[in-house]
Amino acid sequence: MDKKNVQVWASNYLTALLMFMLISLFLIGCATVPLTDRRSLHLVSDSELLSLSSQQYDEILMENRLSSNQGQVQMVRSVGRRIASAAEAFLKESGRQEDIKQYKWEFNLIEDDKTVNAWVLPGGRAAVYTGILPYTQNENGLAVVLGHEVAHALANHGNERMSQALLAQMGGTALSIALSTSPQLTQQIFMTAFGVVANVAYLLPHSRLQESEADRIGLILMARAGYDPNEAIPFWQRMSKQEGSRPPEFLSTHPATESRIASIRQEIPEAMRYYWKK
């Protein structure tokens, strides 16, 4: 075999080996999304993700001022608890009872009127910013937001986005190694993947597929919690009016378009079957 053929053979071998490794990585790290049964890539272990989540959440609370408006705080926590209970019931009925032990639900309201955002981290620790309250307006509107964000957590969309980013930027490096070699990049990937830092959301935008899944599951969760799913339409309409050259943080990762609202209209009848049971 001459030198040129050897180089071609080596190149083909490396390509085949890389493809085999990527396929193996996908099969090993696959998980299933509740309700839709879609297969998604999860390279980050639950234990590592929960540990990093707890650390980041504590740091965020230390760096921000919690709201002293007890009425609003109680509303956030009350709605959050009801959505969380609905989520656990959903997991039980889906045969995922073991997943429930991962969640230690906590809902806090951060005093920041300029930030229109909310998110839920792995383990169920969540934050709502006061800037989104004018758009939610009441408990029903808040249930739309928290139902949607809890749905992202149940579907492990953040793990999927973080896995994709680790694979793309660090060659599929394990989280523990990535933290020791590139801690700042890894933490940025984490914060972006879970919608905590909106100004870098453009680097890891939520996919249309993930958003559709979160909308559908979120509507069911809010319905099961006793909130009218029809309230999702006026909420997203209020949010969509704010779209422009620089939309609010919540819209940076949750694009509210007419096509999205139309899709939600089609999904409401499914969610209403759970609401009517109340």
End-to-end CA distance of the chain: 75
100 is a domain residue: yes
The pLDDT value recorded for residue 186 is 76
The pLDDT value recorded for residue 133 is 97
The pLDDT value recorded for residue 244 is 55
Tokens, residue 163: 């896995």
**Quick check: 111 and 65 in contact, CB under 8 A?**
yes
4 is a domain residue: no
- CA nearest 99: which of 46, 146, 152, 57? 46
267 has catalytic annotation: no
Which of these is catalytic: 93, 139, 149, 213?
149
2 is a domain residue: no
The pLDDT value recorded for residue 182 is 73
Q: Splitting the chain (278 residues) into consecutive groups of 10 residues, what average pLDDT does each group show?
A: 51 42 44 78 82 92 97 98 96 89 96 94 95 96 97 88 73 63 76 65 57 93 97 92 57 63 94 84
37 is a domain residue: no
For 8, 31, 133, 144, 227, the CA distances from 36, given in Å and listed in that order, are 43, 12, 30, 19, 22
- The stretches of 156-248 forming alpha helices (DSSP H) are 157-170, 175-181, 183-193, 208-224, 232-240
Split into its structural domains, the chain has a count of: 1
The pLDDT value recorded for residue 21 is 40
28 is a domain residue: no
Run of H or E residues at 266: helix 258-275
**Distance, C-alpha 233 to centroid of its chain:** 20
216 is a domain residue: yes
Domain range enclosing 110? 44-275
38 is a domain residue: no
**Quick check: 128 and 109 in contact, CB under 8 A?**
yes
The pLDDT value recorded for residue 23 is 40
**What's the CA angle centered on 161, arms 159 and 162, to 5 degrees?**
60
63 is a domain residue: yes
Q: Give the number of C-alpha atoms closer than 13 A to the C-alpha of residue 226, restricted to the C-beta side.
A: 9
